[in-house]
Structure 1
Amino acid sequence: MIGVGKIKQYSNVLDKPLSKGKQEVSLSAFAFLFSELVQYNQTQVDNIAELERRLEDAGYAVGARVLELLCHRDKGNRRETRLLGILSFVHSTVWKVLFGKVADSLEKGTEHEDEYMISEKELLVNRFISIPKDMGTFNCGAFVAGIVRGVLDGAGFPAVVTAHFVPVEGQQRPRTTILIKFAEEVLRREASELETTFSHVSLPPSILSPSFLSSPSQCFAGLLPPLNQTSDSVPPLYSFLHGYSVRDERERRRMNKGGGAASGGGLGGGGSGPTAAAAAAAAQKQKALLQRVETDIANIVDNFSSLVNVSRVNDPPVRNSQEAFMMEMRAARMVQAADSLLKLVSELKQTAIFSGFASLNDHVEQRIVEFNQQAEKTDQMLARIGEEAAASLKELESHYYSSALRTSENLQP
């Protein structure tokens, strides 16, 4: 008799888990099917713009279903409500499900704040496509642009998504860039969420204790650095910004010395490399960020010290309306400075994401080199200690066997 295990019963077929099934399909089958899709739509239109629109509409339906599939398959994922979150979701998760890899790059447009770009060196739908000369700039990437628009629209981020060819120096085929231009309502919602996030600033309870109020200079000891601090123990935010500025300055000098950079891509500045002007602008931006940090920290310290001086520990906190007004004004300035610091951290996160975490990677690589050097020194030290220990043991062993005590022990019956 064959034992049958307990089978889990589902009251509804919709409660059953959604199987992932086979993760890949035949590339030849997809190429044949997509070719038939393009040829059929080509017979139904009179111009290139209409053909791209029909491909985009077909991709839109696919994108809506891809988003629904991912939401049902991974129930632990939270719904994305932030702009960077949904862009990262499309750039990594959606792209990996569709093409088996993360997109080559995710960039922000330099001319408009509402434009973002996902670039692919060799997009799958354009790999086996040969465009006739009479079709001009026809781009089958419109199908992928429709998929991206379907995902964004279904997630609550309406946008205009288009596909473009961008020439790349040294390559025969141009790369494909998916240009995403978000609706104005998305930007307003993002700004509103940022204001909501930064409107709730609270100080640690320990700062309000009498011991701290009696000595305000200790309130930020170990938390905020002196403005003229130049030692090696600079806090992470200062070291990150300083390293960023130094690297950008080196890049700017290298680009100016080399006489130019790679040619720009022409689509929101998405070329194959940074220009000298872009490097100079980045260096200027980092200097401005450093100045913002110093100004905000100085405002927090000064206003907190003034606030503590007005509010006595053993006396009533407010003795007249003038002191009450001064305390409210100082507190408001502290909140504004803290908000500015939080926004600065958000900008740094966004800069790190769209630069591929280059500065962080450089810092990690530098620390790896230092650790490797320390490891080599440690190995050399251990080897030297081992040699000295071996020599000492050999000397002790010869001394032991040649000692009179050892000789007398061997002579005893």
Structure 2
Amino acid sequence: MLDIRWIRENPQALADALVKRGQSVESARSVVDDLVAKDEARRSHLTRLQEAQARQNAASKEIGKAMAAKDAALADRLKAEVSELKSFVQTGESEARELDRALNDALAVIPNLPLDDVPVGRDENDNVEIRRVGEPRQIAAPKEHFEIGEALGYMDFERAAKLSGSRFTVVSGQLARLERALGQFMLDLHTTEHGYTEVNPPLLVRDEALFGTNQLPKFEEDLFFAKHGEGRLALIPTSEVPLTNLVREEIVAGEKLPLRFTALTACFRSEAGSAGRDTRGMLRQHQFYKVEMVSITDAETALAEHDRMTECAETVLKRLGLPFRTVVLCTGDMGFGARKTHDIEVWLPGQNTYREISSCSVCGDFQARRMNARYRAADGKSTAFVHTLNGSGVAVGRALIAVIENYQNDDGTISVPDVLRPYMGGVAKIEAA
């Protein structure tokens, strides 16, 4: 969430940022004007309310003086005034809450401000490649992962559809073991070499947690909900949600920053708006596994932490021997809560293209304001909002796809990357069941 004081002082800067994000000039101006109007109405009302409360207190004291002076007429007038002011204050406090709610609701759907060095563009075609690592292996007639997986007998989409419908997969046998090995390898790498603390978080979270990491209110349709008593809980779309919210409504000691968390969890997304996209195979699923990285830091170190997090994700692919490229997302392709995002795209020979396997984003204090998460400065007195970062380290299902396609052999088998063989009990090649 953006700071309304900053918006009040920089309305044109917000309008310019929204235009960079893809809004029309007219739409951006309308959004800013609405925010400013709501803020002015709220502040004006609070001023009147404070003046009424001050006058109520003063008049109450004057009643005592009037009665001591035996001026009954003045005392009666003051009592009438106090009664009227009391009624106004009671009504005014309720109105103030409504004005607060209206302003906060409007702020909740405003995206974060892109950093100045983020390329301006409309969509993925305007993203900027910053590096490319590894050369794609030459494969005479590369197959896609689902062709290989089904032929081996370890990937079943028909049975998954009977169980749960489309966009689910039953993975079994040695491919299930390979998927588990990938997740374990990533966790070991991030915890033993990259300094992340492993967390096993809840997979069901409250609306407040989803609001904190900006899934709500804007992306509600992409979530799965379960009834819980009279309310509801949501299945996490990513473990960014519980990991980032670990500091919700807390004041962290500044000397403890940065905090770095990682988790391997199932993730659940309805994939709203993706009808017709990636319907074959397991590239875009309702349920998938992902290793997440989250950093909690401060303004001074956030950008360096972003580069560090990106390097941690890239290291996974380097160790697996998978060709990839890293791009900076343009303003029109960047996520709602991000100020800058690096996407890492892995080479998929079956599709003859690079596909996203990790997004690493720096969010500034945007999420911290929604969570009221702060840190205490070195002076031990002042506090400031933390800065948050999140990134995939990496998507396990997509890593499985990438290993299957990049390590496929002409005879239909799959070679196991060297780094994964200890997790596979020494198995070097996956063959048909």
TM-score for the superposition, normalised by structure 1:
0.24
Higher strand share: 2
Which gives a bigger RCO, structure 1 or 2 (Cα 8 Å, sep 6+)? 2
- Of structures 1 and 2, the larger Rg is shown by 1
Higher helix share: 1
